[in-house]
Amino acid sequence: MRRHQDFSTARLIESSSGDAQTWPSLAGATEDEKIPFAEHDVFICSGAVDVVKLLRSSRAGLYKKALAAGGSNLQGDKRVVLVDEQWECVILSPKYQQRSTYKVHINYSASATLSKYPDPQRPVALERVKCVPGLMTVLERL
């Protein structure tokens, strides 16, 4: 049986992409009609937190929603892409450091539209990510 970890007195590590951003390769190459989407994921991780991998997972879920709403990946010579992307990440680490289980909240939002260029398939503003170093094991995705 696992011990209960007290996240009520947890330390917070916060990072975000800032304002909504679009990849430069898609600037000016998209249609005006946009459909907004949002994804909220909670991960329980052990050992460390690699936020880049978790963001990629959240973005992939968001992209799947956009594909489902758009019907397919290709519509004539146009492709479904995500624009105006924005993310926030909050890592809760337990009060006592000998317990290395972390609860990670990721909010990812973007708008889907059509473009003549393919989707980059990676989150924006990865230089703003704050991680917990080490080897991450995802125990659960809520």
pLDDT tens digits along 6-36: 555 558 899 999 888 888 777 776 677 888 9
- In this prediction, residue 59 has a pLDDT band, given cuts at 50, 70 and 90, of very high
The total number of structural domains in the chain stands at 1
Is the pTM above the cut of 0.75? yes
| Nearby residues of 90 by Cβ (< 8 Å), 6 or more positions away | 12, 13, 14, 104, 105
126: Cα separation from own chain's centroid = 10
- Please give the residue that has the higher pLDDT: either 77 or 103: 103
> Does residue 76 fall inside a structural domain?
yes
* DSSP for residue 9: T
> Does residue 30 fall inside a structural domain?
no
Mean residue pLDDT across the chain: 84
What pLDDT, on the 0 to 100 scale, is given for residue 72? 57
Domain that holds residue 83: 11-24+35-141
Cα gap 15→129, rounded to integer Å = 6
> Does residue 2 fall inside a structural domain?
no
